[in-house]
């Protein structure tokens, strides 16, 4: 009877070791899958900054290719006039576009498009005190 207990205890220990090895293999598989999924390619995206909706002069500041901030003064004649700047950016890259106007009878709409789709936008009408700012990162 004592021998049977020893054999049963040895059998239980063996089964526990097998379960431990299965769990270890499952954990290693999960880790490798997570690691490989995290190594996704950093794709380039087409980015376009767009400003419209103003009937008078306004100022635009944007982050251009190479991380430089560029400021331009734009002279608009009608609300349908558009200013734009396009470039190619990597996923995770910082995007920044800001603008302001001084004519209380004017307005401004700023948009950031990524691969032709509106990513972020902001607009105001008659607010000559506040800056419009649209910022973010190129989405993954």
- The pLDDT score that the predictor gives to residue 27 is 44
Rounded CA-CA distance 70/16 in Å is: 66
pTM of structure? 0.70
26: pLDDT confidence band, cut at 50, 70 and 90?
very low
CATH T-level fold of 44-137: Immunoglobulin-like (2.60.40)
Question: End-to-end CA distance of the chain, in Å?
Answer: 66
Number of Cβ within 10 Å of residue 63's Cβ equals 21
Rounded CA-CA distance 134/60 in Å is: 11
How do residues 78-135 score in pLDDT, each as one tens digit? Answer: 999 999 999 999 999 999 999 999 999 999 999 999 999 999 999 999 999 999 999 9
Q: Which of these, 131, 126, 130, lies nearest to 60 by C-alpha position?
A: 131
Q: Is the pLDDT of residue 11 over 70?
A: no
Dihedral pair phi/psi, residue 66, rounded to 5°: 90, 15
DSSP label of 131: P
DSSP label of 43: -
């Amino acid at each position: 009877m004592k021998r049977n207990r020893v054999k049963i205890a040895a059998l239980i220990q063996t089964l526990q070791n097998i379960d431990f090895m299965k769990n270890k293999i499952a954990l290693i598989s999960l880790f490798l899958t997570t690691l490989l999924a995290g190594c996704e390619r950093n794709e380039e995206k087409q980015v376009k900054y767009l400003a419209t909706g103003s009937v008078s002069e306004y100022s635009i500041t944007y982050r251009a290719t190479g991380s430089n901030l560029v400021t331009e003064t734009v002279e608009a004649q009608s609300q349908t006039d558009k200013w734009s700047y396009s470039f190619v950016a990597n996923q995770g890259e910082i995007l920044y576009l800001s603008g302001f106007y001084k004519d209380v009878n004017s307005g401004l709409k700023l948009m950031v498009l990524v691969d032709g789709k509106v990513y972020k936008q902001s607009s105001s009408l008659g607010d000559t005190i506040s800056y419009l700012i649209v910022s973010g990162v190129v989405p993954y």
